[in-house]
Amino acid sequence: MIKETPNPPETDDVSPYESTDSNKLNEAAERALDFHFPSIADIKATPRTPNTLFTVDPDATTETLVVYLVETLASVDVMVHHLVDHLDGGSRNALLGISNSIMLAEITANRVLDNIDVPKPAPHR
């Protein structure tokens, strides 16, 4: 059987570091990659500075925060379902996937509420 295409020509293995030009090009490529794709270590080493424009009351109880979370998730789910009614095809399916994620987060938050030990009020005397 005869091959329609010839074998590729044999080439010598060339290192990107052999010539000055290729070394400079490789260094430039490395710098570009480091700039656009920082390593996980670089990201984690960056200190987080919280924005104080919008803050949550530091005295709010865990129960209050989770109740607010559940209510917010329920509201977002309602908004998503209103949008779903106006879409077809892939966009509709994507939005329904988001709705499912919201629903799972809401169920999880409700379970957290179920697990919170609320102090029982002292009996009246």
Average confidence (pLDDT) over 16-34: 76
Confidence of residue 42 (pLDDT cuts 50, 70, 90): low
Mean pLDDT, range 12-20, rounded to an integer: 63
**In 3D, which of 93, 111, 95, 103 has the Cα closest to residue 73?**
103
Amino acid at 17: Y
Residue 16 has pLDDT above 60, yes or no: no
Average per-residue pLDDT in the chain? 82
- Please tell me the pTM assigned to this model: 0.51
pLDDT for 71: 93
Cβ–Cβ < 8 Å for 84, 99? yes
Domain boundaries defined on the chain? 62-115
Q: How confident is the model at residue 47 (pLDDT cuts 50, 70, 90)?
A: confident
Check residue 119 and report its DSSP letter: P
Single out the residue of 102, 108, 100 nearest to residue 74, CA to CA: 102
Tell me the C-alpha distance between 41 and 79, whole Å.
Answer: 38
